[in-house]
Chain A
Amino acid sequence: MHRNGPIALFFHGLVVAFVLAPLVVICLVAFTPENTLSIPTTSFSLRWFAAIFEHPDFVQSFYNSLWLATLAATISILLAIPAALAIDRYDFPGRDALNGLFLSPLIIPHLVLGVAFLRLFALIGATGSFFWLVFTHVIVVTPYVMRLVMAALSGMDRSAEQAATTLGASHWTVFRRITAPMILPGITGGWLLAFINSFDELTMSIFVTSPQTVTLPVRMYMYATESIDPMMAAVSALMIALTAAAMLVLDRAFGLDKILVGQK
């Protein structure tokens, strides 16, 4: 009885085509044997994927981004779990203000964060440092981690914790043996979401990276503003493939709709 009519399905088809068009085109053009951006019709070639490895700056940026995202997501988890525990389980003065502060990077445009970090780093002489770049990314991804960990904490059944406490377990034991395993899906989902967000971040990073610490999105942006050749399509296709793989893992493990939709 809840069938979509032909008009609804036609509309749906148009929306799906619109959403997929640029991604499909990138994946096709990446395999072109020509020197120009064109969709291969007669033969496919991997030459533009090979061309990536003749650009050591792209390879370097890929490793920069990989390290950066891994470190930022991990540090963010380590900071967010105790903070989320404090906010979810305790009542203390300033609790709401701190909660707001931890979520604030969601409503401060990344552009403004980038400009602000640049000023701070110029004053303390930290411009171009990879160490500080990691912490700028920690700031940007922590709200996502906080939301997922908080959702896991407030959604869990606390009777097992109470039973363990009654039986004499210490705070730390209760956390390690009961709480942590129960909120593990939230932690893992938060880590992956943080990793992806850090790996893709452009607007803030473009202000705070130096030639040595340029991340992959910044490198691609710079390259695309100057020249457009099929190598950009090959790099983009690889990024789409990586994202799709991460998406499938996320979806199998937790349900992507839960992570992306249920994060409010």
Chain B
Amino acid sequence: MSGRRALTPWMLVSPAALLFLGLVVLPLILTVILSFHAYDHTSGIQNSFTLKHYLTVFSDDYYLSVFWRTLRLAALTTLICAVVGAPEAYVLSRMSDPWRSVFLLVIIGPLLVSVVVRAFGWSMLLGSAGLLNQALQALGLSPVRLLYTETAIVIALVHVMLPFMVIPVWTALQKLDPMVEAAAWSLGASHFTALRRIVLPQVSLGMLSGSLIVFGLSASAFAIPGLLGGRRLKMAATLVYDEYMAELNWPLGAAIAIIVLVANLIIMLGYNRLVETRARRALG
């Protein structure tokens, strides 16, 4: 009887566990191995092993510039999302109910709209004959070139990532009793002091976890740089796609993908530790 009970959880969990071992762990191991395979432009993937792809990625100016752009644009996106998303979550939390639910839906609802659709919307707005330029010309101003620039990529990335910043800040603010802020005012604190001493510590925890998600997703974004960066402005994900589909150099593409994965994991784990330390300090 006790033997059967010990088996029950294994039987319940095994179908999902087998699928995940076969389709997550195994393919990742195969990809790591692939990234060490030698590659020849005429005969394809070789059966010998080499570190050449990793060395190429870390020494070639082209690849380094793409990685640098990826980090820079992801960091900029995270910063803008924090500066816009945190105050927006605060404003939302101070609304009263019919409006609060409506606007929360407006802000986080686009999360469910396909990212291709949103990227396409921005390419219509920012294009050289796009609506923004039509508006500028109607006002008698000179048109600006935005599509296929880093600015366009950042604008669209902020649009896609904003909900990921608003959600954790909103969640953090829900835990804050509004009466505490009111108490600070009645004890003579100015609005600014109350905001700084009471709301901001709570908000910053949400901002930290939001930044983590935003940075990770921006650094591996594909559709936005693909549609708004054009053929020239590559980011890590579009670079991998090129290596696979255009250059057909799978081992090199695999090496870049593994670098993206490892960088992502290091940042996530390091950041998590930072958030935990801060949370512990904030809670005393």
A contact set with B: CB distance below 8 Å: 1-4, 8-9, 11-12, 15-16, 18-23, 25-26, 29, 36-37, 39, 79-80, 82-83, 85-87, 89-90, 92, 95, 98, 101-102, 104-105, 107-113, 115-120, 123, 135-136, 138-139, 142, 171, 196, 199-200, 202-203, 206-207, 217, 220-221, 224-225, 228, 232-233, 236, 239-240, 243-244, 246-247, 251, 256-257, 260-262, 264
Contacts and interface: CB of A to CB of B under 8 A. Distances in A.
Contacts of A119: 27, 30-31, 34, 250, 254
A21 B25 CA distance: 41
B259 to A, nearest CB: 10
Given A92-B6, A202-B115, A217-B114, A101 B121 contact: no
A111 B237 contact: yes
A232 B119 CA distance: 12
Interface residues of B, number: 89
27 contacts: A4-B95, A22-B159, A25-B125, A82-B15, A82-B16, A83-B12, A85-B12, A86-B10, A101-B25, A108-B28, A109-B261, A111-B237, A112-B257, A116-B24, A119-B31, A120-B26, A202-B222, A221-B226, A225-B226, A228-B123, A240-B117, A243-B114, A247-B109, A251-B105, A260-B111, A260-B163, A261-B104
Nearest to A22: B121
Contacts of A247: 105, 109, 112
B136 interface: no
A83 B8 CA distance: 11
Given A2-B94, A115-B31, A123-B30, A83 B16 contact: yes
B203 interface: no
B211 interface: no
User: Secondary structure of the B side of the interface?
Assistant: helix
Contacts of B21: 101
A261 B108 contact: yes
B167 A260 contact: yes
A119 B105 CA distance: 39
A134 B41 CA distance: 33
Interface in B188-220: 216, 219-220
B103 A12 contact: yes
Contact of A16 (B28, B103, B264): B103
B282 interface: no
A12 B103 CA distance: 9
Contact of B124 (A37, A105, A136, A142): A37
A19, A23, A225, A240: residue with the most chain B Cβ atoms closer than 10 Å = A19
Contact of B116 (A37, A118, A139, A221): A221
B154 interface: no
A97 to B, nearest CB: 10
A117 B134 CA distance: 44
A76 to B, nearest CB: 9
A8 B94 CA distance: 10
A246 B112 contact: yes
B27 A117 contact: yes
A21 B125 contact: yes
B242 interface: no
A98 B167 CA distance: 27
Nearest to B236: A111
A116 B162 contact: no
Interface stretch (B54-62, B84-92, B137-145): B84-92
Contacts of B117: 23, 26, 220, 236, 239-240
B31, B95, B121, B226: residue with the most chain A Cβ atoms closer than 10 Å = B121
A106 B21 CA distance: 16
Contacts of A110: 220, 222
A224 B116 contact: yes
Given A22-B159, A98-B13, A203-B222, A112 B261 contact: yes
Given A109-B264, A240-B113, 6 more contacts: A26-B124, A82-B12, A85-B12, A113-B27, A120-B30, A256-B109
B15 A116 contact: no
A25 B237 contact: no
B16 A102 contact: yes
A244 B265 CA distance: 34
Nearest to B23: A139
Contact of B222 (A8, A111, A117): A111
A39 B131 contact: yes
Nearest to A23: B121
B91 A12 contact: yes
A70 B236 CA distance: 31
A132 B257 CA distance: 21
B253 A115 contact: yes
A102 B12 CA distance: 14
B20 interface: yes
A101 B107 contact: no
